[in-house]
Structure 1
Amino acid sequence: MWGRLFMQLGLLLIFFLVLFLPLIITIIEKNLEVFLFFMGLFAVLISGGMSRALFVKVSLDPIQIAGAVFIAGLLFRWLQRPLEKMIHGFRSLMPFRLFIGLSVFFLGLLSSVITAIIAALVMVVIVTTLQMDRKSEIKFVVLSCFSIGLGAALTPIGEPLATIVVGKLHTSFFFLMELIGPEIIVGLLLFSVLAALVVKRQNRHYLERSRPHRKEGYEEIGVRALKIYFFVMGLEFLGEGFEPLINKYFTSLSPSLLYWINMISAVLDNATLTAAEIGRSMSTPTLKAILLGLLISGGMLIPGNIPNIISAGKLKITSAEWAKIGVPLGLCVMGIFYLWL
């Protein structure tokens, strides 16, 4: 009894540390990936879930994602100038606000094909090419990451959450597109319109003092890939560590309650929560509620999704800056879709 109580209190402490420390301690914020790794390691040790098999699995799983980030970083370094010219070309064909709105929409839509990671890196190139002012830049990044997080779930290749759902339910490649496709398209349109309204055109004064175009060094590319590796490891450890609590207290709850509780995916890996909560016997409304709750809330904080941490790290966006936009936006969109469902 005391052992179980100690475990639960320890896991709750870790949850609140993960939630609040990056917002108030600068050194943790700057080393978020390593911090999440150790928090995840502590969580799985406290819950008693550590095993040799788990450590091997968690060590191997991030290799593909980190490798993709590394290769994409190299490609963007080598192709930066052509990409910038292409973006400028598209930008010159239409008004600024229309370009911003279409960028957010198509980044979300294409992420289901090119993966959420690659979509996030393309978005970073758009940001650095357009050289927006700081406030507009952060708004564009957060809205784009919400869009990417939603759109990537349309196919099993877009992100791990979608892969787990299709594999666990033994369904077809287009299952999620049929299940939550309309809701996702509505979400992409919503984020696109918001981006077109709130992201402002850069002014001449800003352009005079804006950062110069600079190619990323090979060391920076390698360090980012290594950070992503430990970030994914940390998320998997966190998910494994919290699984006893999730299985005991969450999986038996009503769909509408789970919808709101799944906001914890702003901190925990939504793929792990999906694996714990999704079952073949669930009705279509229940599946929709769980998945949309997980997908939308993933954009609220930096740890909620891999695209968030990639773009925040590359563009030096702090946890507080992200939360200031991501949390109220996520809550509003959660409310809209709750009424929709």
Structure 2
Amino acid sequence: MPFTIKVVERNLEVFLFIMGVSAVIISQVLDKELISKALVDPVNITLAVIVAGLIFRWLQNPMEKGIRGMSKAMPFRLFLALVVIVLGLISSVITAIIAAIVLVAIVSVLRLDRKSEIRLVILACFSIGLGAALTPIGEPLSTIATSKLNEDFFYLFHLIGPDVIPGVIIFGILAAVMIKPVNETNRMSIDQDTESYTEIIIRGFKVYLFVMALTLLGAGFEPFIENYLLDLDHLVLFWINMISAVLDNATLAAAEISPAMADDPAKIKAILLGLLISGGMLIPGNIPNIIAAGKLKITSLEWARFGVPVGLVAMIAYFIVIILVG
């Protein structure tokens, strides 16, 4: 519906909220505990988005000068590659949310053409989504996986790091190759509009509603996952986890991963990689996607046209690696 009906596309947060409420009612899992969780879970993310928006508003001019200075100090394609790679790697330390907000600030200053802007954002969000999973503080999925497996801080880094880090680098290379360099004269002649306080608050509310909707959707689908998916082979789960493109991957990780898998790292790796890669394919798949698409007004169809093909190629590549390497 978001791809074909304009009113749904313009009100994606409300649409997903309605779908989430419908899912939990049909699955008969709506209770006080879930309502409380749905109300509380989005708070930290929403506050981070609002605070970052205020900081960028107050520090807009020096930030613009700094970003422009860095982009002029090196070949532009190299700068794009480094943006994608560095944000992907440091997202495991600064969190995926902050990395996405920094990405939005950089993209807003660069003033790329529309096609290039969308491609840079999507490739960077793929990179952030992958890189943030390297530590438990990077994103909720990695927090849940580490906790459920009773493992230490660097467990995921050792488990999926050899797969994730090359992927982050490849997304950076793709950004350098696939994005058209901007005309420096035109870019410097355009002043960035200052975002109003009202716009910052409205964006924060939309993020709150979006995250609440994903929490409800995940809870609504959890009985189905537990009854029909958990006993499947890990290679099958890898592909089934493409539903992470429209569901909260942290909820899926919570449903699919258990302490009993501790002796089967290959299964854990396949589950996590399937969730992480497909999370970049559509806007609802990951928090960075939601933040970037909301601020830069990227539609669901615009995202899917580039995100789905890139995600499918990445899924195939990682599937081959999983089969050959394990």
| TM-score, shorter chain, exceeding 0.5 | yes
Distance 1:191 1:144 in 2: 7
- 2:179 is matched with 199
Kindly indicate whether the alpha-carbon contact (under 8 Å) linking 2:2 and 2:8 is maintained by their aligned counterparts in 1.
yes
- Residue in structure 1 matching 2:310, options 319, 329, 334: 329
**Cα deviation, residue 203, structure 1:** 2.8
Give the match's secondary structure for 1:281. helix
- Rounded Cα–Cα distance in structure 1 between residues aligned with 2:132 and 2:62: 26
Query: What is residue 9 of structure 1 aligned with on the other side?
Result: none
5+ residue gaps, structure 2, are: none
1:315 counterpart = 2:301:
no
Matched, 1:291 2:233: no
Please list the CA deviations of residues 149-179 of structure 1 after superposition, one character each: whole Å capped at 9, or x if unmatched: 1011111111110110111111111111111
* Separation in structure 1 between the aligned mates of residue 293 and residue 197 of structure 2, nearest angstrom: 19
Matched residue, 2:233: 254
Structure 2: distance between partners of 1:172 and 1:231: 31
Is 1:101–2:81 an aligned residue pair? yes
Mark the runs of 5 or more structure 1 residues left unpaired by the alignment.
1-20
Letter in structure 1 aligned against 2:271: I
Structure 2 residue identity aligned to 1:178:
H
The answer as to 2:170 corresponding to 1:190 is yes
2:256 corresponds in structure 1 to: 277
Match of 1:214 among 193, 214, 230: 193
Partner AA of 2:54 in structure 1: L
What SS does the aligned partner of 1:22 have? coil
Q: Following TM superposition, by how much is the alpha carbon of 1:207 offset from its aligned partner in structure 2, in angstroms?
A: 4.3
**SS of structure 2 residue aligned to 1:49:** coil
> After TM superposition, what 4+ stretches of structure 1 lie above 2 angstroms from structure 2?
203-208
Name the TM-score, length of structure 1 as normaliser.
0.91
Task: Give the aligned CA root-mean-square deviation in angstroms.
Answer: 1.3
- Matched residue, 2:145: 165
Superposition map of 1:49-198 within 5 A: 49-198=29-178
Deviations 1:22-56 (A, max 9, x none): 11111211211121111101100111001112111
Q: CA deviation at 1:215?
A: 1.3
TM-score w.r.t. length of structure 2 = 0.95
Whole-angstrom distance in 2 between the partners of 1:271 and 1:72 = 23
2:110·2:187 contact (CA, 8 Å) conserved in 1?
no
| Cα offset, 1:206, TM superposition | 5.7
Deviation at 1:338, TM superposition (A): 0.6
Q: Matched residues in 2 for 1:130 and 1:104: separation?
A: 14
- Matched letter for residue 42 of structure 1: S
Q: Contact 2:127–2:168 at 8 Å: present in 1 too? A: yes
Structure 2 CA distance for aligned equivalents of residues 65 and 143 of structure 1 = 22
Residue identity (%) = 58
Pair 1:224–1:250, CA change in 2 (3 A): same
